[in-house]
Chains A and B, each alone.
Chain A
Amino acid sequence: MDNRKPVSQQAPSHYAYSSGAATATISPEGIVTGWSEGARRLLGYGAGDVLGRAAAELIDSYDAYDARGSLSEWGGGGPVVLRHRDGHLVQVALRCSPSLGADGGTRAFVVTATAAGEDAAAADVAAAVDATDVAPAEPGRPTPVPMSTPMVEWSHAQSPLAMSMFTRGPQGWRPEPDLSGDLPGEAAEEGFLRLVERVADEGAPMRHERTAPGLFSSRQQAWITEMWPVRDPATGEVCAVGTATFDNSEEHWARQRLALLNEAGTRIGSTLNVTRTAQELADLAVPRLADFVSVDLLDSVLRGQEPAAGPLDTTVALRRAAHQSTHEGAPEAAVPLGGLDAYPPFSPPARALASGKPLLSGVDDPEYLRWVTQDETRRERVEKFGFHSVMSAPLRARGITLGVAFFARRKGSKPFEQDDLVLAEELAGRAAVGVDNARRYTRERTNALTLQRSLLPRELPKQVAVEVAYRYLPAGSGAGVGGDWFDVVPLSGTRVALVVGDVVGHGLHASATMGRLRTAVRTLADVDLPPDELLTHLDDLVTHLTYDETIPEDLEMPSAAEIGATCLYAVYDPVSRVCTLASAGHPPPVVLYPDGRVGVVELSPGPLLGVGGLPFEATEVELPEGSLLAFYTDGLVEARDHDIGAGLDRLCQVLSSPVPSLEVTCDAVLKTLLPDTPADDVALLLARTRALHTDQVAAWSLPSDPAIVADARAQASRQLAVWGLQEAAFITELVVSELVTNAIRYGAVPIGLRLIRDRTLICEVSDASSTAPHLRRARAYDEGGRGLHMVAQLTQSWGTRQTSTGKTIWAEQPLPVD
């Protein structure tokens, strides 16, 4: 190679890189496995003619090549004479390089043939470009294909590769006009030139991939540019940079589809929400797969029910779960979100549903045209946006058809291809699994919530002691239903019981336990037990529940005691304005006084329910009229980011800011204290106390003297006259007479008589003895006393309750209707 001159000193030539380079790959056994366009031009055989044949058949003569020997023995290459298809001989210089597998073994050989002309310089250039040792063609051998400049130019022009040569000029690296073919896209722009410069500086080859919007909005065009430094063989200096660019769009698209599928795995089904999953499918497919996507689901699926198995083959009514478009707001949609639409059996979506297979369709399908022209809206939309190619893919999971996804490309986009259909089917399949999971979760959750709602009060009973507002919020995602509950129970004498409780844990079991506790509290409240005593009974009940429970071992359900349950029970008396509270491990209520003071009611926390044996303590608080009590469960004040103290402080703050109504206060409390998706369920019960005044209550002290009975009767009668309730006087006098007589005869001093005028007229007689009818509601003969029997007959209801100083017997009669 002594005769080589530096390239820079040579006349520019189109030999710089032979786009006509004939390349072939040959298996180690000598069979042709690859055939390039250059090879076709060199020898006239098409790939189909040559592939699978022995490479040796192409060789006319080669000194060093033993056609029967192996290529590996042949070595690096050398001049060889090949035979053209038309019979003439072609003298070329062959270069052979082994292509290695991962184990280092030879998989194939790549053979490049360079036309060996008389122009040694050309060979030199080629050699310089390839940076390999190619022996010059043997002098004296005829050259069947003479090399000429026009031919090199043709070669450039016809090459699938766009090749260029960049040299450094006064303005930096620029393409050499004579040596550069048409550069696709903006290859000559500044960014590209920087890359060229980098290749020159680093002296190392580089691969550059570039994408640009193609002719169709849905498809990108991609090019790969190979760049390599061109060194002066003499000096080794980089004197130019060669580039070869080829269209890589198909591979790019294939990679994009793969990426889309991969992304579908992570993006579709990220939540357990049916419509959200459908929307994720639509969002993912636009614009990468289609210009418009709609997802329609069976109505039953959206309601969380189990649809019938198998394909659907009649006119199907589907609900639009999601759609997405490259246009803002999806103006293409003929059906609004949540809207119901029927697909006639011949329409592509219905056909896909019926067959259970994806379907490619478009303007060349008469049934598609029939479908889109049948409906006025649909025809108008299809015409306006020019949907010419559509795909319908059924959403199927576990053999059940859940709905159908519809993909469309509009005017200006390429029609869908078979590859797209496969992709659509795959995406629909992923979405179907997500939708099915979400559907089943929805059903479970709906069932659990239904159960819990049925266990919580729907409408609180009417009573006048307090004005109430309440909220129950189930826990946010995943955690399921909980065991929080609250209740308002009207008691005798216009008092009211306010209850809030919490069965720790989530799920149906917590809800069921909550339901049992709530019923128990109602029952115990109905016999009018004082708060501490009520909790003692409730505690017993929970303990018994624990013993009674025979839980199958395969169901890992915690027992009531293991769950841990808390309860706060408060009784407010609007006559005395005293609230008596007892707590079983429940957080204390917050009270806002009418003067604006706010604070936590201090009470003995008490043991959790089911612990047993420990006493509960009752606390009495006198509340001015209009005080606001806030009962809540720990979910309201406890959160991951702050402790219960901070939560209570915030609750106090919200309560003390003035708001027009309890309902608004409820909302404000929840908004301030809770994140968007609370981790625990939350119950909140607000009660603003009312007070009964002297125009509604009258109370007297009675000496234990039978003579007082007549006075008591007269006094009651006088009071009724003051209240304008003379009509009730007859019964009231009888009741007073009986109850007072009983109290004097069997009870202990002090004896009190009280009349309350509320929604009913209540007559109460209390004494200091606790031995009278206790925990029992009168059946006709229970007490035996004719007096009580008569009271029971005359009044709407009657009962007894224990007090801290004895007992009270009460009787209620309806107020005369005005």
Chain B
Amino acid sequence: MTPTSSPTGTHTLGLVFPPAGRGRDYTNMQLAFIGGVAEAATTHDYDLLLSPADDAGDVSFRRMVEGGRVDGVIVMEIKLEDDRVEYLAGTGFPFVTIGRNGRADVTGWVDLDFAGLARGCVYHLADLGHRRIAFVNRSEQLFSSGYGSARLGLEGYTKAMAEQVLSPHAYLCDDDVTAGEAVLEQILLDDPATTSLVTLNEAALEGLYRGLTRHGRRVPRDFSIVGVAAGRWAERVEPQLTAAEIPAKEMSRVAVELILRRLTRPDAPPRHILLKPLISLRDSTGPCRPVPGSEPEREFPDLDRFPDLPNLPDLPDLPDLPDAGF
């Protein structure tokens, strides 16, 4: 442990947080986190130093840690394999992460249960009678770089769909409006009878709404959307988005508390806080109204119309279809 890690040292915390938006700008969500961390640090009488580093080689990041300018570091936007985490763990510099990755067992972190959230979204739609539920994920780039929430979200979605004995349709989508519109186009092209979707991509949401409007699908009468988004942001679209809220403020506060605890009790085992916010009911989900002509043969499903279900066992053996109408 370096002397600079003493709690009586700089009284400054470092926040390593690369901008995720196009053209490297901070999204509203990111700004909410930055504000939250700064505010929480201030209440503990700590200052904040920000580094937009997305890898360990970043100059500002190195300066922050090696120059001893901070007592501890909070790392955000971590990937499944993250060299910043590797570097910090290697040096033994005190740090916690917002989000978790492959080293989750040995680091301290606070995270959202994205898998649980995606699963909850699927269940919410299924409870309303929806059977054709699409999933709109983050961008391909984030996904392939091993972005935690995108991977975990897809995992939860797929698992929940399997539990509901439904066929998953997952799509990657860039973080912008145009991409959202295009993805919706693709969804309805692949299965015109789709009545709902789950999205983790708040930046594409407006595009999704636009696409639905263009197809004459009204939300929530003809189409339900449920997502994961910050509260204020979900209320800004019309109709307001039924969504699990990302409690940015609470996560920031918890992260600061975790790093301070790490500083005061360096020998304690790392703590893991997994938050599972509920889906806030707003106006974008409603009972399923099947697309006309799309599901006339519920009792005698035509398997040819469900090309995504080739590996499923025979339908009559399905143990617990939630639809009690059978």
A positions within 8 Å CB-CB of B: 694, 698-705, 708, 711-712, 714-715, 718, 749-754
A-B contact pairs, 12 of them (CB 8 A): A694-B231, A699-B280, A699-B282, A700-B278, A701-B279, A703-B119, A712-B278, A718-B247, A718-B250, A749-B126, A749-B127, A750-B124
Asked if A711 and B124 sit within 8 Å, CB to CB, the answer is no
Asked if B281 and A700 sit within 8 Å, CB to CB, the answer is yes
Q: Is B120 an interface residue (CB 8 A)?
A: yes
Asked if A701 and B127 sit within 8 Å, CB to CB, the answer is yes
Asked if B280 and A698 sit within 8 Å, CB to CB, the answer is yes
Residues of B within 8 A of A705 (CB): 123
Q: How far is the CB of A645 from chain B (nearest CB, A)?
A: 34
Cross-chain contact of A703 among B127, B235, B250, B277 (Cβ < 8 A): B127
**Leading 8 A-B pairs by shortest Cβ distance:** A750-B127, A700-B278, A749-B127, A703-B123, A699-B281, A701-B124, A701-B279, A711-B276
Q: How far is the CB of A691 from chain B (nearest CB, A)?
A: 13
Asked if B278 and A751 sit within 8 Å, CB to CB, the answer is no
Residues of A within 8 A of B279 (CB): 700-701
Which of B235, B276, B278, B282 gathers most chain A CB within 10 Å? B278
Asked if B278 and A701 sit within 8 Å, CB to CB, the answer is yes
Given contacts A703-B120, A749-B322, contact A715 B278 (CB under 8 A): yes
Cross-chain contact of A711 among B231, B278, B281, B282 (Cβ < 8 A): B278
Residues of B within 8 A of A700 (CB): 278-281
Q: How far is the CA of A715 from the CA of B285 in the complex (A)?
A: 20
Q: Is B199 an interface residue (CB 8 A)?
A: no
Q: How far is the CA of A701 from the CA of B322 in the complex (A)?
A: 17
Which residue from chain B places its CB closest to the CB of A715 in the assembled complex?
Answer: B278
Which residue from chain A places its CB closest to the CB of B235 in the assembled complex?
Answer: A694
Q: How far is the CA of A794 from the CA of B9 in the complex (A)?
A: 49
Given contacts A703-B120, A718-B247, contact A750 B280 (CB under 8 A): no
If A694-B231, A711-B278, A753-B278 are given as contacts, then 8 extra A-B residue pairs at C-beta distance below 8 Å, sorted by A number, are A701-B279, A703-B123, A705-B123, A708-B278, A712-B278, A714-B275, A749-B322, A750-B124
Residues of A within 8 A of B277 (CB): 711, 715, 718
Asked if B128 and A750 sit within 8 Å, CB to CB, the answer is yes
Which of B126, B242, B279, B285 gathers most chain A CB within 10 Å? B279
Mask of B237-275 contacts with A, CB within 8 angstroms, 1/0: 000001000010010000000000000000000000001
The secondary-structure label for the interface of chain B is mixed
Q: How far is the CA of A711 from the CA of B242 in the complex (A)?
A: 17
Q: How far is the CB of B39 from chain A (nearest CB, A)?
A: 15
Which residue from chain B places its CB closest to the CB of A700 in the assembled complex?
Answer: B278
Asked if B127 and A751 sit within 8 Å, CB to CB, the answer is yes
Which residue from chain A places its CB closest to the CB of B124 in the assembled complex?
Answer: A701
Residues of B within 8 A of A702 (CB): 278
Q: How far is the CB of B319 from chain A (nearest CB, A)?
A: 16
Which residue from chain A places its CB closest to the CB of B275 in the assembled complex?
Answer: A714
Q: How far is the CA of A712 from the CA of B279 in the complex (A)?
A: 10
Which residue from chain B places its CB closest to the CB of A693 in the assembled complex?
Answer: B235
Q: How far is the CA of A690 from the CA of B235 in the complex (A)?
A: 19
Q: How far is the CA of A705 from the CA of B282 in the complex (A)?
A: 21
Mask of B121-152 contacts with A, CB within 8 angstroms, 1/0: 00110111000000000000000000000000
Residues of B within 8 A of A708 (CB): 120, 278
Q: How far is the CA of A699 from the CA of B277 in the complex (A)?
A: 12
Q: How far is the CA of A552 from the CA of B235 in the complex (A)?
A: 65
Residues of A within 8 A of B281 (CB): 699-701, 752, 754
Q: How far is the CA of A750 from the CA of B280 in the complex (A)?
A: 13
Q: How far is the CA of A535 from the CA of B131 in the complex (A)?
A: 38
Asked if A703 and B124 sit within 8 Å, CB to CB, the answer is yes
Residues of B within 8 A of A749 (CB): 123, 126-127, 322
Q: How far is the CA of A192 from the CA of B287 in the complex (A)?
A: 101
Which residue from chain A places its CB closest to the CB of B123 in the assembled complex?
Answer: A703
Residues of B within 8 A of A711 (CB): 276-278
Q: How far is the CA of A711 from the CA of B120 in the complex (A)?
A: 11
Residues of A within 8 A of B275 (CB): 714
Q: How far is the CA of A129 from the CA of B285 in the complex (A)?
A: 118
Q: How far is the CA of A118 from the CA of B280 in the complex (A)?
A: 137
Asked if A714 and B276 sit within 8 Å, CB to CB, the answer is yes
Residues of A within 8 A of B285 (CB): 701
Q: How far is the CB of A722 from chain B (nearest CB, A)?
A: 9
Q: How far is the CA of A700 from the CA of B247 in the complex (A)?
A: 14
Residues of B within 8 A of A712 (CB): 278
Residues of B within 8 A of A751 (CB): 127
Asked if B250 and A701 sit within 8 Å, CB to CB, the answer is no
Residues of B within 8 A of A752 (CB): 281
Q: How far is the CA of A632 from the CA of B277 in the complex (A)?
A: 47
Q: How far is the CA of A708 from the CA of B117 in the complex (A)?
A: 11
Q: How far is the CB of B244 from chain A (nearest CB, A)?
A: 9
Q: How far is the CB of A756 from chain B (nearest CB, A)?
A: 13
Which residue from chain B places its CB closest to the CB of A702 in the assembled complex?
Answer: B278
Q: How far is the CB of B126 from chain A (nearest CB, A)?
A: 8
Q: How far is the CA of A714 from the CA of B119 in the complex (A)?
A: 18
Q: How far is the CA of A698 from the CA of B126 in the complex (A)?
A: 22
